[in-house]
Amino acid sequence: MKNASLPISIEKITKKYGSTYALNHVDLEIKSGEFLTLLGPSGSGKTTLLTVLAGFTRPDGGSVKFGDTEMVCVPPHQRDVGMVFQNYALFPHMTVAENVAYPLKIRGVKGLEAQERVERSLEMVRLGGYGKRGIDQLSGGQKQRVALARAMVFEPRIMLMDEPLSALDKQLREHMQIELRQLHEKLGMTTVYVTHDQREALTMSDRIAVINFGKIMQLDTPRAIYERPLNKFVAEFIGESTFVPVHIENGIARFSNFSFKILHKDSRHGAALLMLRPERLRVLGPQEHLNAEFNEFSGQLVHVVYQGDSSLLEVKLPNDIGVQVRMPSVELQNHPNLLPGALLRLAVSVQDTVVLSEEGGTS
Amino acid sequence: MSALPNALALKRADSIERLWLLGLVTPAMLLIVITMVLPVGWLFYLSLLSDTGAFTTEHYVRMWEQPSYFRTFRTTFEVSIMTTAICLVIGYPLAYFLSELPKRAANLCMIAVLLPLWTSLLVRTYAWLVLLQRKGLINNWAIELGLWTEPIALVHNMLGTLIGTVHVMLPFLILPLYSSMRAIDRNYLRAAANLGASPMKTFWSVFFPLAMPGMATGALIVFILCLGFYITPAVLGGGKVIMVSSRIANDIEIFFNWGAASALGVVLLVMTALLIWIFMKLLKISNPVDRAIAA
């Protein structure tokens, strides 16, 4: 059963609390059937944007359209969107089945049809036969599923999720991420998902909107967000990163007496930040030489932190600039000279040499 | 089974802990026995004695045979039910309003609600008498404003009694109702709206049932306090609204008939207990939240 889905069009949505912007002229086009994640730190405005979509928060101005219909003035109970709340918000005075049947009852669906749809919805989240249970008899993961079943039983064309997995433990969370994603593929409704967990966002989304200070810092696919961050905030918020101040001239970024070729032929000149992902850096062996696809530089090893699957090497470049190198722990044995103070030759592919403009702004 | 090391010592620690707990409740238990169980037993014993000290059931038989007793009990229940109902009508919206306020403002308002409890009951009752009498403040103002031309009997009748009892009882309803409303996670209401429920529907299907335990507790407290209410109905009813407690007072003060008074007390006690029992039974059937609260 693939539901019809609707695109969402957000235009200049603004909400101020006192003198601070929770949402600052946000524009966002969400495609029909897309799984879009709003990712940001707490207080960034991501949840506010979601509650604006659900109708719980009245923005100061702007436009929200589902399809072609203007929704910004429509009260929440007439919006017909499914929502999964952070703490599930399952009605404690109703059984599982009564909870799931609630939206159907309101829409006048009764009797056998309602029963069938409730059961089908519960089976979809693999809780078939749980209908008669009370809410307090369920585990966290089960509550999560009931909330999901209740949100989709009335076949909304848009689904909103507010950190639905944050209360679950790590293993269950990772399991539910895949399950949610599969459900989305099966049902195909436009989904807006809020999280502060970057890994969750990378795992689940078609596109990610990184939000901070009520503004969208970058909107792109998970891969592009990770590999081509537009600014320092996105680069820092998603994944591990270290920054080296550089000076750009004719497509070459210079730092101390090292030079880095940049992939994009941009016309930028002057001061910029070089972003290096620790796991994209390689430690070269004494006899190892790489081709022109790589930028080479070197620094002094400060210490090695063993972290199980991988190890983190703290390296000091000239001018006291520190960079981190993440190396799979199995490779430690290939580098017998990893002692504090040793001089390490490092390499990063031109592909992974990302330059950001000096501060914040979307370049 | 081989003996585990320290098994005995650990077991003894367990029983010492239990003894301590028992020790902690002992004063309260003693108090209840001395102030509740013994007097009620004594009351029951007295109700079965005649003037001469012989064993008799005459007090109960008289209560059954004389219609005036039936009227007294009817009045008592009428006043109690109406007071509870009026308190609900006034208190429910007020408690709801308070529960929606920010915590600080709500606390301030709550002090205002509870303020009357800090004043003597007698003072409050006589204050109402002054306000409500024929030449009282309310009649005078109403006539001056042209609301009515002749003084209306606002007191020494059912109306005056109810005004007084509602005023006294209102905080007892609002307090539990407010805290149970405050405890309702507002996300339930958002969820209901999100699932398509209009504000009206959200109220009746989610808010009302979740606030039910507080409402039931408050209503029960008010109702039971009203059943034994003495001063306010006696003063504001002016002898026309005779409740069981007034009758008990009369039996003792005027007729020195301890047997009759005790019998009235016993019947009132039994009826109250019966009502609570029925009430609890009804609650248990109604829904699982109440079951959890009642348990």
pLDDT, averaged per 10 consecutive residues of chain B (295 residues), comes to 83 94 93 91 87 83 86 91 96 94 92 87 90 87 87 87 93 93 93 94 94 90 90 86 87 84 90 84 58 44
Q: Which residues pair with B280 in a beta bridge?
A: none
Q: What is the CATH number of the domain that holds B271?
A: 1.10.3720.10
| Cβ neighbour number for residue A192 with a 10 Å cutoff | 26
Predicted pLDDT of residue A267: 59
Regarding whether B142 and B7 lie in a shared domain, the answer is no
pLDDT tens readout for residues A150-186? 998 998 999 999 999 888 888 888 888 988 898 899 8
Regarding whether B280 and B176 lie in a shared domain, the answer is yes
Regarding whether B171 and B37 lie in a shared domain, the answer is no
Note whether A117 and A97 are within 8 A (CB): no
Domains of chain A from N-terminus onward: 8-231 (3.40.50.300), 240-357 (2.40.50.140)
Q: How far is B94 from chain A (nearest CA, A)?
A: 24
Contact (CB<8Å) A106/B210: no
Residue B57 is assigned to a structural domain of this protein: no
pLDDT tens readout for residues A129-141? 899 999 999 998 8
Q: How far is B7 from chain A (nearest CA, A)?
A: 36
Lowest-pLDDT range of A50-64, A203-217, B104-118: B104-118
Regarding whether B38 and B92 lie in a shared domain, the answer is no
Q: What angle do CA A275, A279, A283 make, to 5 degrees?
A: 100
- Total domains in chain B come to 2
Pairing of strands A242-249, A270-276: antiparallel
Q: Which domain holds residue B186?
A: 68-294
Contact with chain A for residue B97, Cβ under 8 A: no
**Which residue, among A259, A236, A254, A252, has the nearest Cα to A324 in the 3D structure?**
A236
Q: How far is A164 from chain B (nearest CA, A)?
A: 14
Contact (CB<8Å) B190/A154: no
pLDDT tens readout for residues A252-289? 888 888 888 887 656 567 888 889 999 999 998 878 88
* Main-chain dihedrals φ then ψ at residue A292, nearest 5 degrees: -70, -5
Residue B55 is assigned to a structural domain of this protein: no
* Main-chain dihedrals φ then ψ at residue A358, nearest 5 degrees: -50, -55
Regarding whether B166 and B95 lie in a shared domain, the answer is yes
Best A53, A93, A95, A138 member to test B by mutation, with max B CBs in 10 Å, is A93
Predicted pLDDT of residue B204: 94
Q: For chain A, give percent helix, strand, coil, nearest 5.
A: 30, 35, 35
Regarding whether B40 and B103 lie in a shared domain, the answer is no
Predicted confidence (pLDDT) at residue A359 exceeds the cutoff of 60: no
Contact (CB<8Å) A91/B196: no
What is the pTM assigned to this prediction?
Answer: 0.80
Predicted pLDDT of residue A3: 53
Which residue's entry shows tokens 């503004």?
A: A215
Regarding whether B79 and B42 lie in a shared domain, the answer is no
Residue of A nearest to B195 (CA): A103
**Which residue, among B209, B211, B204, B201, has the nearest Cα to B287 in the 3D structure?**
B209
Chain A partners of B201 at a C-beta cutoff of 8 Å? 106
Chain A partners of B188 at a C-beta cutoff of 8 Å? 89, 91-92
Contact with chain B for residue A108, Cβ under 8 A: no
**Rounded mean pLDDT of A210-222?**
94
Q: Counting beta carbons within 10 angstroms of the beta carbon of residue A270, is it exposed (0 to 12), middle (13 to 18) or buried (19 or more)?
A: exposed
Residue of B nearest to A78 (CA): B196
Chain B partners of A81 at a C-beta cutoff of 8 Å? 194
Residue B58 is assigned to a structural domain of this protein: no
**Rounded mean pLDDT of A318-331?**
91
Contact with chain A for residue B193, Cβ under 8 A: yes
Regarding whether B289 and B186 lie in a shared domain, the answer is yes
Predicted pLDDT of residue A285: 82
Contact (CB<8Å) B190/A91: no
Predicted pLDDT of residue B33: 92
Best B195, B215, B283, B291 member to test A by mutation, with max A CBs in 10 Å, is B195
Q: Which two tokens stand for residue A25?
A: 């002229």
Predicted pLDDT of residue A186: 87
Predicted pLDDT of residue A363: 38
Looking at chain A, the whole-number percentage of residues with pLDDT higher than 70 is 96
Predicted confidence (pLDDT) at residue A210 exceeds the cutoff of 80: yes
Regarding whether B242 and B205 lie in a shared domain, the answer is yes
Regarding whether B86 and B15 lie in a shared domain, the answer is no
Contact with chain B for residue A82, Cβ under 8 A: yes
Lowest-pLDDT range of A72-76, A290-294, A329-333, B287-291: B287-291
Contact with chain B for residue A80, Cβ under 8 A: yes
Compare CB distances from B190 to A56, A80, A151 and report the shortest one's residue.
A56
Compare CB distances from B198 to A77, A91, A151 and report the shortest one's residue.
A77
Contact with chain B for residue A17, Cβ under 8 A: no
Please, how many CA atoms are within 13 Å of residue B207, restricted to the half-sphere of its CB? 23
Contact (CB<8Å) A76/B190: yes
Residue type, A224: A
Residue of A nearest to B206 (CA): A91
DSSP string, B64-90: HH-HHHHHHHHHHHHHHHHHHHHHHHH
Predicted pLDDT of residue A358: 59
Contact with chain A for residue B163, Cβ under 8 A: no
Chain B partners of A106 at a C-beta cutoff of 8 Å? 195-197, 201
Regarding whether B146 and B229 lie in a shared domain, the answer is yes
pLDDT tens readout for residues A59-118? 999 999 999 999 999 999 999 999 999 889 999 999 999 999 999 999 999 889 999 999
Residue B54 is assigned to a structural domain of this protein: no
Regarding whether B266 and B229 lie in a shared domain, the answer is yes
Q: How far is A205 from chain B (nearest CA, A)?
A: 24
Chain B partners of A107 at a C-beta cutoff of 8 Å? 196
